[in-house]
Amino acid sequence: MNPQIWWYLTRASGIVAWLMLTASVIWGIVLSTKAFPEHRRPAWLLDLHRWLGGLAVSFTALHLGALVADNYVHFGPAELLIPFASPWRTGAVALGVVAMWLLVAVEATSLAMKRIPRRYWRWVHLSSYAVFLLTSLHAAFAGTDTAHWLYQGTAVATIVAVMVATIYRLTHRRAPRRAAPRGRARVVSETTS
């Protein structure tokens, strides 16, 4: 087996995690606009957003595991979980650590969405923009592929795509909905069917 397999896996899984995050953020932005009215939106559209977010978390976990397995630079639990604990490219790695924790918060609150106040879920979910930004900066400053034209083209494409989607989101906002009490919403839906 090639001794650099873990380094290749670290790089590849990090890039794929970033691309899955990008796709999830863009899809989430589009879902939150008037592009898909809620009363006509098929369930698979939201499922795709959730699936992309889950893939981002999975590839992030693979990225972290491959970093631990690689023996070129030591990464233990402290370096992976605590910002500024890594002596290797300290600031850039810290950006990735903070992005990872924010990603975990977004995913955890999304899984618990029906059990937490919608306002809280929304504020945590809005940190997805920060996750994307921090991940992009982490890749640019900690990644070793930044000089390659394919990485540079991908970085420009993802950043432009998220910026365009964000501008679209700001210009095509859906009217905010008022949350009905849970018991009342059920009664209303049962009486209208």
Asked if 26 and 136 touch (Cβ cutoff 8 Å), the reply is no
Average pLDDT in the 151-177 region? Answer: 88
Structure confidence at residue 33 (pLDDT): 80
Asked if 94 and 75 touch (Cβ cutoff 8 Å), the reply is no
Token pair, residue 179, equals: 């949350």
DSSP state of 191: H
What are 121-151's pLDDT values in tens digits?
Answer: 999 999 999 999 999 999 999 988 889 999 9
Residue 160 has pLDDT above 60, yes or no: yes
Residue 173's DSSP bridge partners are: 33
Measure the CA–CA gap between 80 and 96, rounded to whole angstroms: 9
Give the phi and the psi of residue 38 in degrees, each rounded to 5: -55, -35
Q: What is the 3-state secondary structure (H, E, C) of 73-124?
A: CCCCHHHHHCCCCCCCCHHHHHHHHHHHHHHHHHHHHHHCHHHCCHHHHHHH
CA atoms within 13 A on the CB side of 93: 20
Structure confidence at residue 193 (pLDDT): 45
Measured from the Cβ of residue 86, the count of other Cβ atoms closer than 10 Å reads 23
Structure confidence at residue 143 (pLDDT): 87
Asked if 144 and 11 touch (Cβ cutoff 8 Å), the reply is yes
Token pair, residue 183, equals: 């018991």
What are 8-67's pLDDT values in tens digits?
Answer: 999 999 999 999 999 999 999 888 887 777 666 778 888 999 999 999 999 999 999 999
Q: Can you tell me which residue has the tokens 């034209």?
A: 149
The SS3 of residue 41 is coil
